[in-house]
Copies of this chain bind each other. A is one copy, B any other.
Amino acid sequence: MTEMPLYEAMSTLRAVRRLRPDPIPEDVLHRVLEAATWAPTGGNVQAWRVVVVRDRDKMAALGALYATRWAAYTQHYRGLMEGQPQEAIDRSERTLAAGDHLAEHFDSLPALLVFCFNPRNMAITDSEQDRPSVVGGGSIYPSVQNALLAARAEGLGCVLTTLLCQEEPSVRALLEIPDPWYTAAAVPLGYPIGGGHGPIRRRPPEQMAYADSWGSAYGK
What is the interface of chain A, defined by CB distance below 8 A to chain B? 1-7, 9-11, 13, 15, 26-27, 30-31, 33-40, 42-44, 46, 48-55, 58, 73, 77, 95, 116-117, 119, 122-129, 131-138, 140-142, 144-146, 148-150, 153, 159-160, 162-163, 165-166, 168, 175-178, 180-185, 200-205, 208-215, 218, 220
How far in angstroms is the closest Cβ of chain B from A102?
15
Asked if B7 and A166 sit within 8 Å, CB to CB, the answer is no
- In the assembled complex, the Cα of A168 lies from the Cα of B208 at a distance in Å of 20
CB nearest neighbor in B for A1 = B7
Question: Within 8 Å CB of A36, what residues of B?
Answer: 205, 208
Query: Please, which residue of chain B has its CB at the minimum distance from the CB of A127?
Result: B132
Q: How far is the CA of A199 from the CA of B134 in the complex (A)?
A: 29
B38 in contact with A153 (CB, 8 Å): no
Q: Is the CB of A182 within 8 A of B129?
A: yes
**7 further interface pairs, Cβ-Cβ under 8 Å (given A2-B7, A7-B31, A176-B214):** A6-B9, A46-B208, A49-B209, A119-B131, A119-B134, A125-B165, A135-B165
19 contacts between A and B (CB under 8 A): A4-B6, A5-B6, A10-B149, A34-B204, A37-B202, A40-B148, A46-B203, A52-B210, A54-B212, A122-B132, A126-B182, A126-B183, A126-B184, A134-B134, A134-B140, A135-B137, A135-B162, A141-B141, A175-B213
